[in-house]
Structure 1
Amino acid sequence: MKSWKVAGLTVLACMAGGAVLAGAAVFHGWYDVSATGSHTLPVHDLLDVAQTRSVQRRAAGIAAPDLDDPDRARNGAGLFRANCVQCHGAPGVAPESYALGLNPPPAALVATARERPAPDIFWIIQQGIKMTGMPAWRYRLTDAEIWDVVAFMRVLPTLSPEAYREWEGGERTSAPALPGRPEAQARVGSAAAGRNAVQQYLCATCHVIPGVAGARHHVGPSLAGIADRSYVAGTLPNTEANMQRWLLAPGQVKPGTAMPDLGLTDQDARDISAFLQTLRQAD
């Protein structure tokens, strides 16, 4: 019995010590809240699990209507283009400049549509998510319109960039413009600056990047070990210069790629390329 009491007191003491440490971290401002760096991986994982479980609990009683009606998906495509692609992007289409750098970054909806059930997606669109920039669309769209968006999102993972443009009526969404952004004096690429840049350009919404917190579901290949791969995008020898070329104009390097033109500056491309050169396979 005495050993159980000792164990219980030890657990309580650890919990109290953890609470004091957390309170001190908040009070003294030790946790970095700047948007130029991501959450730490433990914080990101905790928030991601909390969000996923919360949505699952609240969407459990929602019954999805018939989402296979082509008219429903077509209407949803128009709503998606008007309200969603600006922050989330689409196959071959980058988010707008104001969405780059949101922290946490908006999810790549191709992966969301592939991994989440329809009721969960409906609830997220309808209710929004705190502290993410995702609004509650229930105040702007009817429930029927939200289900139309869900219906189109079920189609989204099957679309190539060309097929997505056909759903848009053949129009090409332009890359994000950064008017008035001066190009700083050129310098060699910095891996530290590149690590920050991949967060700002939402790279971790589509790719697993070691040490960088991002989306839970991804649509692009993992970048782990990319420095050891022979080719960039399966077409160019893997050199820093070719990586920069790919980052600046992916559509020119590999026509039809789903990798969008993100509007990088030359310096950003040098920095990101330098960071990617640090991502080697573990021994």
Structure 2
Amino acid sequence: MMRAGRIAALAIAASGAIAGILCVAIVYFGWYDVSATSPHRAVVYHLMDTALARSVKLRSADVQVPELNGEERIQNGARLYSTHCVQCHGAPGVAPQPYALGLNPAPAALVATARARPASDIFWITRQGIKMTGMPAWRYRLTDDQIWDVVAFMRVLPTLSPADYQHMDDGQPPASTDHAPPDSLRLGDSVAGKAALHQYLCVTCHTIPGVTGAWNHVGPSLAGMADRPYIAGAMANTPENLQRWLRAPGAVKQGTVMPDLGVSEQDARDIAAFLYTLSKRDR
């Protein structure tokens, strides 16, 4: 019996090794088609859907759902949806924009999502985003109250005809997208700042120690940021000045190629806190 068990274990290990080698070969020799015109295999879609469902269920379990039936909340959610969501997900009688039609995997039809998922799941997905789908984390662009407004609107979305949707899309701007008021701001958090560096695309231009991202960098490395005497050669390297630079680089240094990315005050505090952990003396 023990001999049979060992043989079975060896067979499983050998199968796993062969499968691993095969996967490496498929990637290394370019056999896997990464083009967006080639859909994933059915097994890949199934794996992604299963991972999404289980991950969201685990992480949204403690989300507390507020009252979502207020007309004002639903109306503001409709405006936010029209401003930020319809371009990829469409709406009754409204097709997604051309760029969204080429995404792979395709953006979900949110009418179906609103029918199939509880409000807590929709809030978590909207707030946190989903990797490898093109779905961004809206927590860096909208407040939690605004995200709940979107959820409130999505709950009524399945009931709307094209005419109903056009009526709700009244062309008015959504309520202010300002983030936390000054009295609710906290001290900078380096862990939150490290996460925010991805959300503001810092890693697409800069090499940042300890932060993974694109390899084709166009800006200077941020290694040793804590030790530098100046920021962009324009002002003394202090936490307050670094936050100013992150939020409005063009106002600090005229003609800079660093764009204004709409960094919130709290996110600027967090990013600065992380960048000040990057010291050459710690190497």
Q: For the superposition of Structure 1 and Structure 2, which TM-score range results when normalised by the shorter chain?
A: 0.5 to 0.7
Partner of 2:137 in structure 1? 136
Show CA shifts across 1:102-123 (max 9, x none): 1111100000011011111111
- Give the drift of 1:170: 8.7
Runs (4+) of structure 1 exceeding 4 A deviation are: none
Which residue of 1 is the match for residue 80 of structure 2?
79
Bigger CA radius of gyration: 2
How large is the RMSD of aligned CA atoms in angstroms? 1.4
For residue 10 of structure 1, what is the aligned residue in structure 2?
11
SS in 1 for 2:17: helix
Measured in 2, the distance between the counterparts of 1:168 and 1:145 equals: 16
Q: Matched residue pairs, number?
A: 171
Q: Name 1:159's counterpart in structure 2.
A: 160
1:25 equivalent in structure 2: 26
- Give the conservation status (yes or no) of the 8 Å contact 2:60–2:121: yes
Q: Deviations over 1:164-197 (max 9, x none)?
A: 11111399xxxxxxxxxxxxxxxxxxxxxxxxxx
Between 64-73 and 84-93, the greater mean CA deviation after superposition: 64-73
- Asked whether the equivalents of residues 79 and 170 of structure 2 are also in contact (C-alpha less than 8 Å), the reply is no
Give the match for residue 46 of structure 1. 47
Q: Report the Cα distance in structure 2 between the residues aligned to 1:116 and 1:95, rounded to whole angstroms.
A: 21
Residue 139 of structure 2 is aligned to residue 146 of structure 1: no
Distance in 2, matches of 1:93 and 1:42, equals: 31
Give, as a single letter, the amino acid of the residue that structure 2 aligns with 1:25. Answer: I
CA distance in 2, matches of 1:170, 1:27: 50
> For residues 139 and 70 of structure 1, what CA distance do their matches in structure 2 show?
25
Which amino acid letter does the alignment assign opposite residue 120 of structure 2? P
2:118, 2:31 → 1: CA distance?
38
Task: Give the match for residue 121 of structure 1.
Answer: 122
Counterpart for residue 109 of structure 1: 110
Counterparts of 1:93-242 in structure 2, within 5 Å, are 93-169=94-170
Q: CA deviation at 1:57?
A: 1.1
Gaps of 5+ in 2: 173-283
The whole-number CA distance in structure 1 between the counterparts of 2:77 and 2:171 is: 16
**Structure with more contact order per residue of length (Cα contacts < 8 Å, sep ≥ 6):** 1
One-letter code aligned to 1:160: S
SS at match of 2:132: coil
Q: Contact 2:76/2:150 (CA < 8 Å) preserved in 1?
A: yes
Percent of pairs with identical residues: 61
**Aligned equivalents of 1:80, 1:129: Cα separation in 2:** 18
Given that residues 56 and 124 in structure 2 are in contact (C-alpha distance below 8 angstroms), is that contact kept between their aligned partners in structure 1? yes
Q: Is the 8 A contact 2:87 2:100 kept in 1?
A: yes
Partners of 1:74 and 1:53 lie apart in 2 by 31
- Please give the TM-score of this superposition, normalised by the length of structure 2: 0.59
